[in-house]
Amino acid sequence: MKPNTQTAMQELILQVREAIPFDMPEAEICTGKCVGCPKKLLEFLDQELTDWESRLEDEEAPRLGDLSRLAKTSKKVHKALAKNGLV
């Protein structure tokens, strides 16, 4: 049985928070030449996740498109961080 969209979103948020180094010090993030701005990407993704956490607490049910967009955004940020050697 597939999980409902709220459960799926919670699981996605947990996976992203585990995979992305949100607690990395700025001194480690901003070293050398950057491909994109890892600091801004981390801030953006953290805000997206925080927004969805708040919406889930308010019992808002995400749609499949919301799940897909957040997953796609997270993958792009992870890829950019990998190019910068941060993951």
- Per-residue pLDDT for the chain (87 aa), expressed as one digit of tens each? 777 999 999 999 999 999 999 888 887 887 767 777 888 999 999 999 999 999 999 999 999 999 999 999 999 999 988 888 888
pTM exceeds 0.75 for this model: yes
Give whole-number Cα distances, 40 to 3, 4, 15, 53, 61, in Å. 32, 31, 20, 20, 28
User: Tokens 């994109």 sit at which residue?
Assistant: 36
Is residue 56 within 8 A of residue 6, CB to CB? The reply is yes
